[in-house]
Structure 1
Amino acid sequence: MLSAEEQAHIAQVWDLIAGHEAPFGAELLLRLFTVYPSTKLYFQHLGAFPDEVQLLSHGQRMLQAVGVAVRHLDNLRAALRPLADLHAHVLRVDPANFPLLIQCFQVVLASHLQGEFTVEMQAAWDKFLTGVAIVLTEQHR
């Protein structure tokens, strides 16, 4: 799926994010809710107006899952199976929401990493996150 160069780009970006999962994830959620308000449907446990603590907490969990995927690039299906089952069978997340999340994540990365987030890195992350989304939606069949 991913070339060695793409995997290197993913690891390089993750090294910049690692240790900052909570603020990156909180910003991702806030951007998602602002740009695509319908996605709040899947985060009702956060309330109509989630506070900073809730955003940081849930954002951290989301990005920790991305970290798991980064560490298991060669076997995303096995690494993300519990998360895929949760999203399909318990949370019943509409698969159409994953591309929205990917788009918002790319914007957050670009806004924070700026010049460090090259076109090649963006392309690798887009391919990687699309692969993650595919794995997370496979159980919807």
Structure 2
Amino acid sequence: METYKALIATFALTALYTGPVVAGPPVTVTFMNLGTQTATYTPITNNEAITKVNASPTPQASVIANGSNTYTIQSQISPDYNHANFRYQIGNKKCVYLATFVTAPGYGASKIPKWNNTATPGGGATCTIKVTKTNPSSYAWSVKITMK
């Protein structure tokens, strides 16, 4: 009977294990609302929805004027890729942000990391995105995004 219980426990643990997690380097995002009204987090596109799913904790639905919100996003697609695509709105002003990381093959087994960041304003908004830190060994990075 003890052997039977041990086999069931082993099977249950094996069934839950699906292999190694393949995750890209995390990006820590700090959103700062520099406006005079509340900013709302409004994911619309598929990439923005994926970003929300990959975020921990989930971004706050709204950020008060002069407030901030910090969260981490980690893609589950590849250890050589991550993206964060998010949209905020204050009244008619809109900002769409995109932060990406990808590695390209280098010489031998080396990899060449590349971080790209864009902020696209709409409705008279001022939007910025800036890398504040990168880790050369894990490729994790941090960005500060602002909206006004």
TM interval, short-chain normalised: 0.3 to 0.5
Q: Which has the larger radius of gyration?
A: 2
Q: What TM-score do the two structures reach when normalised by structure 2?
A: 0.31
Q: Whose relative contact order is higher, 1 or 2, with alpha carbons under 8 Å and at least 6 apart?
A: 1
Q: Which has the higher helix share?
A: 1
Q: Which has the higher strand share?
A: 2
